[in-house]
Structure 1
């Protein structure tokens, strides 16, 4: 009788990655295998090894989770190759931070921001058309696929290319986060104005599009907008009942859950990348995603499938004609704001210097002794409350009354 070989298992770190890629919590995976959640955590950390039937069930479940991940990796590699072939030549990174260009490809693994969804949809950024400022024919064809430095690309041209690449999709994303057209455009403009103020930092970032996306989402979900008069009244609803119902469900979700659902199911980021962009742990992000999916499925049962939800989110974002401002206007607004803040800082510094100078000029130059505290005067009779008169007081009163009888009781004026 031959002994059956044990089912192969991936390393502990790969086990956790596969579980998170399948949007499963340790408790959910433990329920499928038939063990406790603590046992699943021990298997993923390497402190224990599954045995017997639990090992076979665990290996089969991990193999089932690994198949979609492998297919997604293949699609991602194909999308990367296509993006490298279709990307304009003037958008490659250069060594100089002042004239660095923006790469229109996936960031390296382990960066803070995640990749853009490879599937074409309303959220996918499309490379901007070639313009006289950034001609695609300026670089030879044999150099267009190489990540070499860009030739003759100014910071303004690189910023305009990034804006044309990201702004249309970002306006649609922020509209789904806020439900307001004006706030969506304002959020994108504010994010790009901040990017232009910190352009050397943004240009060095491995994923400039992710940097701007995070800034736009944070500005759109700021709780202070509710106190602004222009955003106190709701905007006109959508005409399509299904679009209106989906937008209402999204806006009823808490902002962190809404953003997690948009990044994962709308844009197509992975669970670790979504957790990094929302500044949350991977288990917390998985919990938010599951809660958001359950809420949407409860209100709209037709959207229980994540793929259907992704398509409906893209369709909802494409229904509105949302246009972003022109790149020169955004750069001019950023520069005007920087000048305003500079002038305000100069005015405050001048006022502070003037107040200090006035205090120095009016301050006393000599020593002035302090006023001594008051002293008690002795010998003053204390006040007496009204009461019966003493013998001396009665004699004085009688004397005064007798003297009044010898003189005129009333003075009368005499004519001259």
Structure 2
């Protein structure tokens, strides 16, 4: 054994054996000693030897592991007692007995002796072996605990659940904004179709119902709705005179005030949430709410109390029989609309490409300057048809004819 001035160390193989007996990894042992796993690997292979404080800590840890091994060693030894159970006192067996007596000091007591014998008797009879069966029975018991895991819904199932949960209420709320039943239903359907097109975004949203509600309100209050032929034909008002008066009062409010009043007193949102959904500041939202309440209370003094106003808005929305379409119908309508838009975009792109190709094919390859427009020239006598010659013209013609047209006289000039 390698010894140091302070504490001895076992051989490298014994070091590794002690670590493996204690069920420790090299990383765990390195953390306890305060070194790296590579250092422990070198110590166990014998390449290096610890020194200084690391040696003392390593030696003390190995000593502790060796003591734990010696303490755990007598545990398998009492299992040898069944060999001593048939106590007919055979000659080969009394030899190990004196070795076991000094190690197991509690043997002189009469009481502990029957206990290990009774415990070892079922272990010595391997024939029945009922023990593995009860051990296997508790294993399936924890499985039902993990069974109630939430089942993952498909996107279509999640959309249908959201639509079935919130669509009826959204149609009633949108009716308070528009006063038109068909327009409220169409606005909610369009909002859910937009939600289905952007489903990954809506599914991760903290408030998917708020996302759909904001989209439905924007579509219902769009000024382009006034240009539709349907807007020119009013729908029948509610049958109850009180509901009719309240609905007319709401429709007389500005769209922003009406939306703020419906969200705060109708839906029940708080002021910050109402401000966030209407894309306004909190003071501006509070001002709109106060003005809307004053306008409603000025025409209907009984609704000055916010609680009464909330109850009347709920009654007005509930008295109307507003039905929403089925979720698959809305989904298919949104998918059909998306396909039409995609096909229209593809057709437009193809037409643009064809027009560009035709232009490239027929365009000139060189520059041709344009012809300047004609301009009238003044000061030039007009051309006239030939007529009778004057005396001067006749004399000139005769002179030209009389003179020689060729010859040396035409090549050498002379003085006249």
State the TM bucket, normalised to the shorter chain. 0.5 to 0.7
Structure 1 length-normalised TM? 0.55
1:364, distance to aligned residue in structure 2 (A): 1.4
- State how far apart, in whole Å, the 2-side matches of 1:141 and 1:171 are: 41
User: Secondary structure of the residue that 1:191 maps to in structure 2?
Assistant: helix
- State how far apart, in whole Å, the 1-side matches of 2:288 and 2:361 are: 62
The equivalent of 1:184 in structure 2 is 184
Residue 215 (str. 1) matches residue 201 (str. 2): no
Highest RCO, 1 vs 2 (Cα 8 Å, sep ≥ 6): 1
- State how far apart, in whole Å, the 1-side matches of 2:201 and 2:365 are: 52
- State how far apart, in whole Å, the 1-side matches of 2:378 and 2:154 are: 91
- State how far apart, in whole Å, the 1-side matches of 2:291 and 2:232 are: 28
Aligned pairs for 1:262-277 (under 5 A) are: 262-277=262-277
Aligned pairs for 1:167-316 (under 5 A) are: 167-316=167-316
Deviations 1:73-130 (A, max 9, x none): xxxxxxxxxxxxxxxxxxxxxxxxxxxxxxxxxxxxxxxxxxxxxxxxxxxxxxxxxx
1:317, distance to aligned residue in structure 2 (A): 0.4
Q: Cα–Cα, structure 1 residues 162 and 142, in superposed 2: closer, same or farther, change >3 Å? A: farther
Deviations 1:341-397 (A, max 9, x none): 1010011001101111111111112343443565765752389xxxxxxxxxxxxxx
- State how far apart, in whole Å, the 2-side matches of 1:324 and 1:239 are: 21
Deviations 1:137-192 (A, max 9, x none): xxx89998xxx8x4231000000000001100000000010000000100000000
Aligned pairs for 1:245-394 (under 5 A) are: 245-371=245-371, 374=374, 377=377, 380-381=380-381
Residue 162 (str. 1) matches residue 162 (str. 2): yes
- State how far apart, in whole Å, the 2-side matches of 1:160 and 1:348 are: 34
- State how far apart, in whole Å, the 1-side matches of 2:221 and 2:378 are: 76
The equivalent of 2:401 in structure 1 is none
Deviations 1:272-306 (A, max 9, x none): 11011001111111111011111111101111100
- State how far apart, in whole Å, the 1-side matches of 2:311 and 2:206 are: 28
- State how far apart, in whole Å, the 2-side matches of 1:353 and 1:262 are: 49
- State how far apart, in whole Å, the 2-side matches of 1:143 and 1:292 are: 53
- State how far apart, in whole Å, the 2-side matches of 1:142 and 1:237 are: 56
- State how far apart, in whole Å, the 2-side matches of 1:188 and 1:334 are: 12
User: In the comparison of the two structures, how many residue pairs are matched?
Assistant: 240
1:203, distance to aligned residue in structure 2 (A): 0.5
Unaligned runs of 5+ in 1: 1-139, 384-416
The equivalent of 1:69 in structure 2 is none
User: Secondary structure of the residue that 1:259 maps to in structure 2?
Assistant: helix
- State how far apart, in whole Å, the 2-side matches of 1:360 and 1:323 are: 56
Unaligned runs of 5+ in 2: 1-143, 384-416
- State how far apart, in whole Å, the 2-side matches of 1:143 and 1:272 are: 41
User: Secondary structure of the residue that 2:316 maps to in structure 1?
Assistant: helix
Structure 2 length-normalised TM? 0.55
User: Secondary structure of the residue that 1:335 maps to in structure 2?
Assistant: helix
1:322, distance to aligned residue in structure 2 (A): 0.4
1:269, distance to aligned residue in structure 2 (A): 0.6
- State how far apart, in whole Å, the 2-side matches of 1:270 and 1:218 are: 20
Deviations 1:246-278 (A, max 9, x none): 111001000100010011111111111101100
Q: Cα–Cα, structure 1 residues 381 and 219, in superposed 2: closer, same or farther, change >3 Å? A: same
RMSD: 2.2
Max Rg structure = 2
